[in-house]
Structure 1
Amino acid sequence: MAETIRLLDIRETALSSDEVLAAIADPSAGGTALFIGTVRNHDHDQPVDELRYEAHPEAMKHLRTVAERVCENPAVTALAAVHRTGVLAIGDAAVIVAVAAAHRDVAFAACRQLIDDLKAEVPIWKHQHFADGTSEWVGAC
């Protein structure tokens, strides 16, 4: 399973879809699914100026658990997941996940499971700053 999980990280630096796709490149894969979560300019019908993400010190442990669960499917050949922390601007990539698998249906399903479980179980919190000066914390899990 360790060789299936090719890239896992939580970092303050910009994320790259090229890095993620290169990490999961696999000649045995017939399908690759990629999801990029970006900072949008609104939430709750309010303009958003910026976001700050903060991760619990054990967030990487939880991310590995999520990744290992997705890799229990033997048709998954490679997996990568990276999440950004710190201050992000509108349009920045906040999270990138990708899965390569023997077939496209497995790649799509596994990628969906990976992002959904990451959002539900990995302790990373979002602090949204709205244009009117208010802000709110949103728990990712």
Structure 2
Amino acid sequence: MVELYEGSLNVPEILTRWYADEAEHNYGAYIPFVGTVREEDGIEGLSFDVYEPILTAWFEAWVAKATPMGATLKMAHSRGDVLVHESSYIAAVFSPKRRVALETIEKFVEDFKASAPIWKYDLKNGARLYAAERSTPISGAGLLGSNA
């Protein structure tokens, strides 16, 4: 399940809840990834637009890949504004075996960066500016592939 939140993510609450949700499933590995907004180019933060139907389909395709390996995926992402040093993205893999979890989290996070229908804007001097130079067009998305 993809969890979407307005604004920054409460990392301790989300990770603790996910861990508690999966604690009885006999997993040998729990590998979270937390994405944090970096201070760069004078930005005050980032702002995100999410196209939920495509994001949900993308995530469900990943769940279908992970399930036969005995792995469980979880993901949370922000909509709207997230300030510098706050979190906008959390992903986690639970698996009986650490190798499955390690390989899956790496591939999942990289594919998310390349394929997820989420558009990023810089928050700078009180303005919301499309971050085209740090965005990746979505293959086959047509007009959804750019926001220029």
Q: TM-score of the superposition, structure 1-length normalised?
A: 0.76
Partner SS for 1:47: coil
Of Structure 1 and Structure 2, which has the larger fraction of its residues in helix?
2
CA distance, structure 2, for counterparts of residue 97 and residue 24 of structure 1: 14
Unmatched runs of 5 consecutive residues or more in structure 1? 1-6
User: Which of 69, 72, 92 is matched with 1:74 structurally?
Assistant: 69
Q: TM-score of the superposition, structure 2-length normalised?
A: 0.73
CA distance, structure 1, for counterparts of residue 26 and residue 52 of structure 2: 35
Partner SS for 1:85: strand
Please tell me the residue identity of whatever aligns with 2:46.
Answer: L
Q: Does 1:55 align with 2:53?
A: no
Identity, % of aligned pairs? 21
Contact residue 31 and residue 103 of structure 1 kept, 8 A: yes
User: Which of 8, 26, 29 is matched with 1:28 structurally?
Assistant: 26
TM-aligned CA deviation for residue 84 of structure 1: 0.9
Unmatched runs of 5 consecutive residues or more in structure 2? 139-148
Contact residue 29 and residue 94 of structure 2 kept, 8 A: yes
Task: After superposition, give the CA deviation of every residue in 1:45-70 in whole Å (9 maximum; x if it has no partner).
Answer: x122111000114222222223332x
CA distance, structure 1, for counterparts of residue 37 and residue 118 of structure 2: 15
After superposition, the CA RMSD in angstroms is 2.4
**For residues 77-88 of structure 1, what are the structure 2 equivalents within 5 Å?**
78-88=72-82
CA distance, structure 2, for counterparts of residue 60 and residue 27 of structure 1: 24
Task: After superposition, give the CA deviation of every residue in 1:114-135 in whole Å (9 maximum; x if it has no partner).
Answer: 2112222220011013459783
Of Structure 1 and Structure 2, which has the larger fraction of its residues in strand?
1
**For residues 34-49 of structure 1, what are the structure 2 equivalents within 5 Å?**
34-42=32-40, 46-49=41-44
Contact residue 128 and residue 135 of structure 1 kept, 8 A: yes
| Count of matched residue positions in the alignment of Structure 1 and Structure 2 | 130
